Chain A
Amino acid sequence: DTGVSQDPRHKITKRGQNVTFRCDPISEHNRLYWYRQTLGQGPEFLTYFQNEAQLEKSRLLSDRFSAERPKGSFSTLEIQRTEQGDSAMYLCASSVKVGQANTGELFFGEGSRLTVL
């Protein structure tokens, strides 16, 4: 299996612009998560998908944030009208291969670092 892939790895944008991040989970993983991590902090949960259904969202996910997983495979996280406070590492993780037991372990990608100027 290839690991979780995230694109782009780095994004620099000006305040007010929209940005979109893509995550390709491990093949056949049906659970997909987005987290945000700022410097010196642990990852903070944003949202969770099981297949294409978005089942849980954090209150951190303001209306400027939207995530999709249209076919239950890759996912996108879009941030509209970016603010300087959105500068962070956005991490994607996946878990649970169909037909296998859930160990609870998450497999993370390398992250997409966003800098808002």
Chain B
Amino acid sequence: SQQGEEDPQALSIQEGENATMNCSYKTSINNLQWYRQNSGRGLVHLILIRSNEREKHSGRLRVTLDTSKKSSSLLITASRAADTASYFCASYSGAGSYQLTFGKGTKLSVIP
């Protein structure tokens, strides 16, 4: 089952614009992670935010977490064509679980 659900499913923007993707999850979490996947490739870890954090930055990435709403957002600023990929949020299914559970992803297209 999917722990997280990303929104929107697909997003198309012009190069230089900002891209915002949202993720909602179901159960309590210790942390929430975002991954990126280029077409036909493996996933690459982008950023992890812990449940006691509200915001985190890494380069052009900004992640927020609202545990009261069980939601997170990923903002990519000043997007580039190379940012074209699918983005997934992921969290562990529950206490003691080793299952990192992924959402269905947001497919981002950045048009040059």
Contact = CB atoms under 8 A, between A and B. Distances in A.
Contacts of A104: 30-31, 33, 48, 92, 100
Contacts of B43: 43, 91, 93, 106, 108
A45 B101 contact: yes
B44 interface: yes
Given A106-B100, A111-B42, A42 B48 contact: no
Interface of B: 2, 4, 30-31, 33, 35, 40-45, 48, 88, 90, 92, 97-105
Interface of A: 4, 31, 33, 40-45, 48, 50, 55-56, 58, 91, 93, 103-111, 113
A93 B44 CA distance: 10
A111 B40 CA distance: 8
Nearest to A46: B99
A110 B104 contact: no
A43 B90 CA distance: 10
Contacts, number: 58
Contact of B45 (A50, A105, A110): A105
Contacts of B44: 108
A21 to B, nearest CB: 13
Contact of B42 (A33, A48, A55, A110): A110
B48 A103 contact: yes
Nearest to A107: B45
Given A42-B88, A42-B105, A104-B92, A33 B100 contact: yes
A56 B102 contact: no
B99 A45 contact: yes
Contacts of B40: 111, 113
